[in-house]
Each structure stands twice: as C-alpha cells, then as structure tokens.
Amino acid sequence: MNDCLFCKIIDGSIPTKKLYEDDICVAFNDSNPQAPTHFLVVPKKHLASAVEITDDDATMVGHIFAVISLLTQIFGISDGYRVVTNCGAKAGQSVQHLHFHVLAGKELGSFN
Ligand code: AMP
Ligand code: ZN
C-alpha cells in the first residue's frame, strides 16, 4: 500500500524506533500516547482493519497476541494492560492498517 503510513513504517521509508520486529509484525510507541505505556503492534500484512480478518489470518492474529504477552512481560505491565483495535471511523480509527493498541500504566477504568 503506497500511501499507507504503517506500511511505510514497516518498510522503513518512515524511520521509526521499533520496540520489536519479526517476520509477521512490528511494535512501536504510539506518537500520541493515551497512557504512560502505549504502543502499537502492527501486522506486516496490510489489512485495512479488523473487519478484513479472515480464518486465513488466524496464525497472524494469534501470533500478535503472543507478542503482546511477551512485550507486556518485558515491559513489566503484564499485571494490567488493555488491548484495543479500533475498527472504522465510527470507532475512531484514523490509520487504515490493522493495529492493536496496548495501553498500561494508569487506571484504565471500565468501558460503558
Ligand atoms: P487509530 O486511531 O486506532 O487508527 O490509531 C492510530 C494511532 O496511530 C493513533 O493513536 C496515533 O497516535 C498513532 N500514530 C499516528 N502516526 C504515528 C506515527 N508516525 N508513529 C507512531 N504512532 C502514530
Ligand atoms: Zn498498510
């Protein structure tokens, strides 16, 4: 995707300090953090959002949650964190490449 911000971060054309990278996904800090710890885990495969996930992506999605678990243990937040994926403009999605927010370090409260 030529015009996709996260594809450009993944391919290095927008230099970004990566917290983690493997063949399937990357993680980097959110540039507008909403909590003391706020990073994004992003598949290298371009999907516009969670609505495009199919059974073919099961391994990728499972792997991303395993990476999230690993990173939360490394960063010492495994006792309390939130994973969010916004899907569509009505849900506040601003970057049209599937990504998972990981937030921690403050009282996150419950959803209403
Ligand atoms: P969403 O609104 O759910 O689509 O989340 C997109 C997130 O990407 C927002 O929290 C932004 O702060 C974040 N973001 C936008 N541009 C960058 C960037 N260049 N590096 C890191 N995070 C970014
Ligand atoms: Zn993309």
DSSP letters, 25-60, are EEEEE-SS-SSSEEEEEEESS--SSGGG--GGGHHH
| pTM > 0.75 | yes
CA neighbor of 15 nearest in space, from 24, 5, 3 = 5
In order along its 112 residues, the chain shows pLDDT tens digits of 679 999 999 999 999 999 999 999 999 999 999 999 999 999 999 999 999 999 999 999 999 999 999 999 999 999 999 999 999 999 999 999 999 999 999 888 887 5
Written as one letter, the residue type at 76 is: G
3-state secondary structure at position 20: strand
pLDDT at 77: 97
Atom 3 of ligand 1, nearest CA residue: 93
pLDDT at 112: 56
User: Environment class of residue 83 by beta-carbon count within 10 Å: exposed (0-12), middle (13-18) or buried (19+)?
Assistant: middle
Tell me the catalytic residues: 99
Atom 12 of ligand 1, nearest CA residue: 32
CA neighbor of 83 nearest in space, from 27, 19, 7, 5 = 27
DSSP H/E element including 84:
strand 82-84
Ligand 1 pocket mutation, candidates 14, 19, 20, 40, criterion most atoms within 8 A of CB: 40
pLDDT at 1: 61
